[in-house]
A and B are shown apart, each in its own frame.
Chain A
Amino acid sequence: SQTIHQWPATLVQPVGSPLSLECTVEGTSNPNLYWYRQAAGRGLQLLFYSVGIGQISSEVPQNLSASRPQDRQFILSSKKLLLSDSGFYLCAWSRRRADTQYFGPGTRLTVL
């Protein structure tokens, strides 16, 4: 069966510090991968998606970037965090485009 991992689970970072969140999927190959952000009490905002290694599409221009160095690894990064980057970050995978997305446990980021 497939599982998706995210770490860390929680993170508190000062403004201006760098960020690296990691997501890995097990039990499947060549998944589509997604990063979402959810601000407190709000809906889901798609940040990035990837259909293969090194292929990243950005949905929202912002302070963040994503990379996919391996087939089942998806990394969300920032060089300098802003207060507005606080939120709950969710990684998801699907087998094909438009297919069911399965979500990881999320990372709760607080920028102070």
Chain B
Amino acid sequence: AQKVTQAQTEISVVEKEDVTLDCVYETRDTTYYLFWYKQPPSGELVFLIRRNSFDEQNEISGRYSWNFQKSTSSFNFTITASQVVDSAVYFCALSEAGGQNFVFGPGTRLSVLP
């Protein structure tokens, strides 16, 4: 069965600090996809990144970077030099190629204080 764990319920950092959000997943499929979404206070889920199971290259997009490690079943998300606008709930999600639906983690609430 597929499962996504985000052990950090809430994180608070001061602006300009780096912060890493953890995501650990479980799946029996060899082909699967991992996602990160951001949910700002407005509520809409914003897609950030998708990574397939055959691509373990780390990705960087501006201040955001993602570290995918199949050996530890983790897909962690780092924000460098955090800003107040980064304050949101962040969800990690998993979908299996042979499945229909996503499994979302419980989310991590990030508060960036000025």
A-side interface residues toward B, CB under 8 Å? 32, 34, 42-44, 46, 49, 51, 57, 59, 88, 90, 92, 97-106, 108
Contacts and interface: CB of A to CB of B under 8 A. Distances in A.
A103 B43 CA distance: 10
B111 to A, nearest CB: 14
B100 A44 contact: no
9 contacts: A42-B106, A43-B104, A43-B106, A43-B107, A44-B45, A46-B101, A46-B102, A97-B95, A101-B102
Interface residues of B, number: 24
Interface of B: 32-33, 35, 37, 42-47, 50, 91, 95-102, 104-107
A43 B91 contact: yes
Given A105-B44, A106-B43, A100 B100 contact: no
Nearest to A44: B104
Contacts, number: 55
Contacts of A98: 32-33, 95-100
Contact of B105 (A34, A43, A49): A43
Contacts of B37: 103
Contacts of B97: 98
Contacts of B107: 43
A34 B50 CA distance: 18
A105 B43 contact: yes
Nearest to A88: B43
A99 B93 CA distance: 11
A104 B97 CA distance: 24
A49 B97 CA distance: 17
Name the residue among B33, B43, B107 with the largest chain A CB count within 10 angstroms: B43
